[in-house]
Amino acid sequence: MSWIDLTLTIDNTCMTCGTAWHAAPSIARLGRLEEVGRNTSVITLGSHSATHLDAPLHFYNGTYGVDEIPLEKLCGSIRVTDLSHIPPGGCVCPGDLEGIAVAPKMLFKFGWYRNWKTPRYYQDYPYFELETLRYLTDNGLEMLAIDTPSPDTASAIGKKEDSLGHKLLLGKQVVIVEYLNNTEQLEDGGNYEIVALPLKLKGSDGSPCRVIARRLSHEL
């Protein structure tokens, strides 16, 4: 089966949520072929730029960063669930997952990536109720992958006591993969193989990553 690229492209117009603690990415030419015989670049990234994953260190000191996440948590079988019926600003409640078996790795598609590089991207995206996340973790969730900026409500962005969903998930060492792209290519209920590899940045709370997936021929 062909691989599907679920990664947003990082460039000099890459969006951030606008807070002072998220750096805007930039790519600038340093060495030029006509001057030094080769092209090289200076790349500036935030640890949560574009498609990325979060490690427990994002919200918990004394834990571990992306370089210590077991590879088994970053690659393997993942189940896709279509939640595109959830309206903008809507909440994913436990009832929305009724009849859906929880797999260790779950990808929830809302179609929100279509709003990338528009003012709407960080406004009123669908989010998860805490009880829903608790239900998932209680049933063995190890990776939550989404095509929205966050499992938490947009109304909490920029507030010190925000991100309760992040804290619940990362407190249970669940890998959070955010800002996915091209999720319309994934079939609802389908079982896929995912690879979500961060840069091996020592002690980093998060990292941009290249995320790819392909359909599996067998059930989880």
User: For residue 104, what is the DSSP state?
Assistant: S
Q: Cβ distance 180 to 211 under 8 Å?
A: yes
Q: Which of 174, 123, 171, 172 is nearest to 145 (CA)?
A: 174
pTM of the model as a whole: 0.95
Q: Cα–Cα distance between 40 and 31 in angstroms, integer?
A: 5
pLDDT tops 70 at residue 161: no
Residue 191, strand partner residues: 79
pLDDT tops 80 at residue 158: no
- Collapse the DSSP code of 109 into the 3-class scheme (helix H, G, I; strand E, B; otherwise coil) and give the result: strand
Q: Where does the pLDDT of residue 219 fall: very low under 50, low under 70, confident under 90, or very high at 90 and above? A: low
Q: Cα–Cα distance between 161 and 140 in angstroms, integer?
A: 26
Amino acid identity, residue 33? L
Q: Give residue-wise pLDDT tens across range 56-99.
A: 999 999 999 999 999 999 999 999 999 999 999 999 999 999 99
Q: Cα–Cα distance between 10 and 199 in angstroms, integer?
A: 14
Q: Where does the pLDDT of residue 159 fall: very low under 50, low under 70, confident under 90, or very high at 90 and above? A: low
What pLDDT, on a 0 to 100 scale, did the predictor assign at position 220? Answer: 53
